[in-house]
Structure 1
Amino acid sequence: MKLKRARRSRRGRIEIIPMIDVMFFLLATYLLASLSMQRLDALPIALPDGKTAPLPSAAPLTLSIDRQDHIEVGGHAVALADVGNAVRQQLHDDRKVIVAADDKATQGTVTRAMLAAQNAGARALLIVIRHEG
């Protein structure tokens, strides 16, 4: 004699709408987390226009000069007289220094800072420009 089951077994279903909601939440979380990890250690400057090849992925030391002639080496504010010491302390093995000078920065300050970096051991000075496009 066969007995009937009192309950039918139902196949499980995966609801797609809640899964999409969770995926959008994770996407927004990762997006906000990655934006908060951006390094903003340079002075706000307006770069001059020009065309050049892109920089390789390993970023050298950055020397920033804004329009009021404030100088930062590697994200730390320094006086013009201390640029050489700061560059010497923070210089990498490749001995390259990126010079990011504002378009309105005083030419004399930019030149003196570049000469101080060169005297401190910088082998190559790379000038940052805004890509025309």
Structure 2
Amino acid sequence: MRLPASKPKRARIEIVPMIDTVFFLLIYFMIASMTMTRMNAEKVALPVSHTAAAKPADDIVVTVTKTGLFYIDRDPVAESGLTSALNARLAAKPVSAAVIINCDKDQPAGRFARIFDLVKQSQAANVMIATTPSDQWEKRP
């Protein structure tokens, strides 16, 4: 007895599951990007804090590196011109803009106090200190 030959089925590409997957990935990355904080400052080793929070977008960052160099956002500035340069930046920002001091943890306390005093001499409404959240610090080797 001879069986009839069956026709091979044509392959189909199902597009609906692919669209669902693409939208899922899009939503995932949109939500993940909302939790990211981009800080416009030089990289320094920050002290640890249990109450650390994310930086708002319209703030100004004053950085003191381990070697003692000063930056406002990413622009180098001399210590003597810090207050005047900071006043110029604050004039261009909204009234609610805060100044964040991003001081390396290896700087002496006297140097930090001097920088804090210079920042307070500017017209900043708020002054904050950048720290590393303690849970992130504990994960580092």
Q: TM-score range by the shorter chain?
A: 0.5 to 0.7
Report the equivalent of 1:83: 82
- Alignment partner of 1:48 is 2:50: no
Query: 1:85-104 to 2 correspondence within 5 Å?
Result: 85-91=84-90, 92=93, 93-104=95-106
Structure 2 gaps, min length 5: 1-10, 136-141
SS where residue 119 of structure 2 aligns?
A: helix
1:56 is displaced (CA, Å) by 6.1
Residue 130 of structure 1 aligns with an amino acid whose one-letter code is T
CA displacement 1:90-130 (0-9 Å, x = unmatched): 11321410111110023333222221111111122111111
Secondary structure, in 3 states, of the residue corresponding to 1:117?
helix
| Structure 1 partner of 2:5 | none
Counterpart contact for 1:88–1:121, Cα < 8 Å: yes
1:120 to 119, 122, 131: 122
Answer whether contact 1:67 1:106 (CA < 8 A) is retained.
no
Identical columns (%): 21
Q: Does the CA-based 8 Å contact 1:74-1:90 persist in structure 2?
A: no
TM-score by length of 2: 0.62
- 1:42 positional shift: 2.0
TM-score normalised per structure 1: 0.66
Aligned mate of 2:113, from 105, 111, 114:
111
- Cα distance in structure 2, aligned partners of 1:79 and 1:66: 13
The superposition leaves residues 73-103 of structure 1 with CA deviations (integer Å, 9 ceiling, x where unpaired) of: 1211001101101110111321410111110
Structure 1, gaps ≥5 residues long: 1-12
The letter for the 1-side match of 2:113 is T
Q: Which amino acid aligns with 1:49?
A: V
- Secondary structure of 1:97's partner? strand
Instruction: Compare CA radii of gyration and give the structure with the larger one.
Output: 1
